[in-house]
Chains A and B, each alone.
Chain A
């Protein structure tokens, strides 16, 4: 008998369909951080990311019979994740993220600094970027996050969002133009 770690996602999924909780746990372990990060980067707060990640995996569990294997499981999972995030943002009032929020993380690339001023400036920058990202139309925001933060290719983004590659190109072009228009004044003032 194969150990669960050696099984492919699709094989695990078949087991989940037969109520194998261990298999579901293995799938969760494989993708929890990937999904959690995607959601966190989309909504911007840790506690919302926690709630939505639960919703996403519950949705996967409930719709396991609907998976027909036309795409890879990871694509299917990210598609659910993106749709859950978009629906959540559509229904919800815009989050007011404060720079005093300890949940706001800083850039990976930023040099680790213990200077309070540097930390505050970094958090302020994060808040500005998140607000500007939130102001983008949902599809532009989704495409941008998948491309810039998750490093997906245009073809992968097209598959996740169920649109053509040329539509992804167009979304990303417009997203960047919008970001430039909104962020350039901050950049010129040295705030980001």
Chain B
């Protein structure tokens, strides 16, 4: 009874210890693959990998994966790159000083002006459209000579038609 209780305590303790060791070893696997472990740490890790199948599998998978992520082929900066940078430096240096100072203020002001202008133009266009529409309605009414029905008797077909056309 006492012995089995003691064993449980020990195995529980060993289990916890192994988990803690494994977590540390997982971090060391990452460092090992980057060549960042000391000699002592390397031999400790290799010993652990020899006895721990989980960590060994983690190591194999990580190594295989990192081996498949190779650096993309080296590319070369385009030959015109320095000319482009020089051009940008030139533009920057030849910008009038006043413009440089006012730039932070000018940009929002210009955006606001554009917005106001857009609202104004939209409003004018809308008014123009409404007035043209009214004129068209009048012309349409005149064309149909609707005044001819003004004196038509109530509830007659002509009177109903006249009311419909005049929007009453």
Interface band, chain A: 35 or more
Contact B71 A148 (CB under 8 A): yes
In A60-90, the 8 Å CB interface with B consists of: 61-62
Main secondary structure of the interface of A (DSSP, over half): helix
B86 close to A (CB within 8 Å)? yes
Enumerate chain A residues within 8 angstroms of B76, measured Cβ to Cβ.
Answer: 33, 36
Contact A41 B72 (CB under 8 A): yes
Contact A33 B88 (CB under 8 A): no
A-B contact count (CB 8 A): 99
| Nearest Cβ on chain A to B128's Cβ, whole angstroms | 40
Contact B72 A58 (CB under 8 A): no
- The answer to whether A54 and B85 touch (CB under 8 A), given A154-B36, A183-B65, is yes
A9 to B26, CA, bound (A): 40
Contact B75 A105 (CB under 8 A): yes
Enumerate chain B residues within 8 angstroms of A184, measured Cβ to Cβ.
Answer: 61, 65
Contact A187 B27 (CB under 8 A): no
| Nearest Cβ on chain A to B69's Cβ, whole angstroms | 6
B113 close to A (CB within 8 Å)? no
Contact A180 B86 (CB under 8 A): no
Question: A: which residues have CB within 8 A of B?
Answer: 21, 25, 28-29, 32-33, 35-37, 40-41, 46, 49-50, 53-54, 57-58, 61-62, 105-110, 125-126, 129, 147-149, 153-154, 169, 172-173, 176, 179-180, 183-184, 187, 192
